[in-house]
């Protein structure tokens, strides 16, 4: 029998963007804008549904170009335009559960910039993922938001 475990972690990432809160929010809310950053590093999105609204559900298959083996199933729990997004998601790799997360994105004006604070509370299942990998992926995605806003 395979040993079962759950490792818990909290990831907090902060970014400041030279854009108004409405533009930062739109990077999450608009399909074309989100497509520019919604996969970590050089990974690709092979399939994605888009239903950005409270109660909306999305499914994304993504990963390396030659092996998009990860699937994220997302449920949006709370959306305050230009200010806050709260969602939960589970992630699998080739059908094997690897994590379950609750993520809060807070968007606040900060002088001539916008501050984004992402907090993710996550349970990593059976040793199939870890906080360092997740933090690296999320940081990459937030950096890509900055690049897309600056373009």
Inter-residue contact 150 to 27 (CB < 8 Å): no
**CA 77 to CA 85: how far, in whole Å?**
8
- Tokens 């709260």, residue? 86
Q: Identify the CATH number of the domain defined by range 6-150.
A: 3.30.530.20
Q: What is the pLDDT of residues 79-93, one digit of tens each?
A: 999 999 999 999 999
Inter-residue contact 99 to 124 (CB < 8 Å): yes
This prediction's pTM: 0.95
**CA 12 to CA 18: how far, in whole Å?**
20
Largest Cα separation within the chain, whole Å, is 56
- β-strand partners of 72: 60, 91
Q: What is the pLDDT of residues 23-48, one digit of tens each?
A: 999 999 999 999 999 999 899 999 99
Residue ranges of domains in the chain: 6-150
């Amino acid at each position: 029998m395979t040993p079962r475990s759950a490792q818990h972690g909290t990831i907090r990432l902060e970014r400041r963007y030279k854009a108004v809160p409405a533009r930062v929010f739109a990077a999450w809310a608009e399909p074309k804008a989100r497509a520019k950053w919604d996969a970590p590093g050089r990974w690709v999105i092979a399939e994605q549904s888009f239903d950005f609204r409270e109660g909306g559900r999305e499914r994304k298959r993504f990963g390396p170009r030659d092996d998009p083996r990860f699937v994220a199933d997302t449920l949006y729990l709370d959306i305050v335009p230009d200010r806050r997004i709260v969602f939960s998601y589970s992630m699998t790799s080739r059908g094997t559960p690897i994590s379950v997360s609750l993520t809060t994105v807070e968007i606040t004006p900060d002088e001539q910039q916008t501050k984004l604070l992402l907090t993710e509370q996550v349970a990593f299942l059976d040793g199939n993922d870890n906080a360092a990998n997740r933090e690296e992926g999320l940081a990459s995605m937030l950096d890509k938001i900055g690049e897309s806003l600056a373009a």
